[in-house]
Amino acid sequence: MKTPPSRTCLGCRRARPQAALVRLVRLTNGTVVVDGGTRAAGRGAYLCPDAECIKRGLSRGRLGHAFRKPSEAGPNLAAAVRAAARLEARAAPAEASPAGALLCEVSARAIEDVDVITVRS
C-alpha cells in the first residue's frame, strides 16, 4: 500500500490525505477561489471542508500567508468549499487512477504547491 499524498489544512494545520481536502487557488487579482478541478495554474492551498477550518482558514491573514501575497476570500468562498467537498465525496476515489498517471501529476504539481513532494524514480 502506498501512502496517499497528504497536504496541510490551512485552518487546523493538520496533514490530511489530499483527497479529503478542498484545493484553493489564488487568482492574479488576489481573489482566492476553489479550484474547480481545472488544475488552475499557480500556488495551491488546502482546507478541510469543516466549519471550524473554513472559518479559521479563510481569514485574510491565513490566506495571505499561504499564498505569500495579499489575498482575499472570493465571494461565497465558504459555501463553495462546502459544495466542492460534497462533490468530491461522490467522485471516484483517488486510488483508482493508475500509478503512472499519479506520479506524473505529483511531479508536475510539485513546483507550484505549498507542500512540495519530492519524487524519486
C-alpha dihedral, 121 to 13 to 83 to 30, nearest 10°: -90
Minimum Å distance from CB 120 to Zn ion?
29
Question: Cα separation of 116 and 121, whole Å?
Answer: 16
Among the residue ranges 5-13, 29-37, 89-97, 111-119, the one whose residues contact Zn ion (CB under 5 A): 5-13
Nearer to Zn ion, 53 or 63 (CB): 53
Over the window 21 to 60, marking each residue x when it contacts Zn ion by CB under 5 A and - when it does not, the resulting string is ---------------------------x----x-------
Cα distances from 110 to residues 26, 41, 88, in angstroms, run 17, 12, 22
Q: Which residues bind Zn ion (CB under 5 A)?
A: 9, 11-12, 48, 53
